[in-house]
A and B are shown apart, each in its own frame.
Chain A
């Protein structure tokens, strides 16, 4: 397995490398913006269209989830959670379209979790004041402060590795299975005299789809759900 390819380099600060992950993310972002504009055009109060009912159902589900986990106080937070969920799940599912999933790139996930980390700290300061925030590190006893700081920093790191590890493991295992099936079908077809016909990886048809159901569909959905849920729980907990 190789890392993401570098598509081009911006000649600034000694060259910023723009990788495949970022370009794929731009594609997904453009698709998301276009679909959002298309879905929210011509909304009506009386006899709404099927499209509008569908999108209303999705938005209501999101708001209900945020209300259940975080409470009425944090309802302004719902759009952020929705965006995080959509970016995560569309990124992981983009591997179905043979794009490299950008959620298998550590830096993409790290960006999201660092944003969450900053939101947690800002929310804590907003609710308890600067002194209260600093004091919260010395609880329950003063000498435990280093451990509290480490556990606070470990939060985003464990969230990052959880999401990245799941998607990257799926990518590695899927590519191993593809390689294995290719050489296996090469061995099976070695009696065929024609060079072109014997090089067709015939076992690759259909069999990897079973893995894809778990690694692409189930894991993508689960990890998007988990990262949103953890973000909500941590932000809500920091305001207590």
Chain B
């Protein structure tokens, strides 16, 4: 019974942790929109704009990745079951 509760709570927690994906989604969308604007204004600098945007996107992604790591730990390497 206790194990079932812990497992269910871990699954719910993993789902809740992935709400962290909202932030990077907004941020990356904003960055991509700004990059499209920049390319529209200055098409000859497309290469530099694209690489800068990808770099910024990947850095902005890290908070979402932290949420993902928490979810992965809860799903595949759950430390809470060992505490029972």
A61 interface residue per 8 A CB criterion: no
- Taking a contact as CB atoms under 8 Å apart, the answer to whether A1 and B62 are in contact is no
* Interface residue from A162, A225, A229 paired with B65 (Cβ < 8 Å): A162
Q: Looking at the complex, which one of B55, B59, B68, B76 makes contact with A165 (CB distance below 8 Å)?
A: B68
Within 8 Å by CB of B76, from A1, A222, A225, lies A1
Task: Give min CB distance, B52 to chain A, whole Å.
Answer: 10
Could you say which residues of chain A place their CB within 8 Å of the CB of B76?
1, 3
B68 engages A169 (CB within 8 Å): yes
Give the tally of cross-chain contacts (CB within 8 A): 35
Kindly state whether residue B54 has any CB partner on chain A within 8 Å: yes
B residues 48-67 touching A (CB-CB < 8 Å): 54-55, 58-59, 61-62, 65-66
> How many residues on the A side are at the interface (Cβ–Cβ under 8 A)?
17
Query: Which residues in B have their C-beta under 8 angstroms from that of A172?
Result: 72
Contacting residues, chain B, for A3 (C-beta < 8 A): 76-77
Give a binary string over B67-84; 1 marks a CB under 8 Å from any A CB, 0 the rest.
Answer: 011001000110000000
Once bound together, how far apart are the Cα atoms of A229 and B61, in whole Å? Answer: 15
Question: In the complex the two chains form, what is the Cα distance from A140 to B66 in whole Å?
Answer: 29
Within 8 A of B (CB), among A162-187: 162, 164-166, 168-169, 172
State in angstroms the CA–CA spacing of A161 and B20 once bound together.
15
Contact of A168 among B58, B59, B66, B72 (CB under 8 A): B72
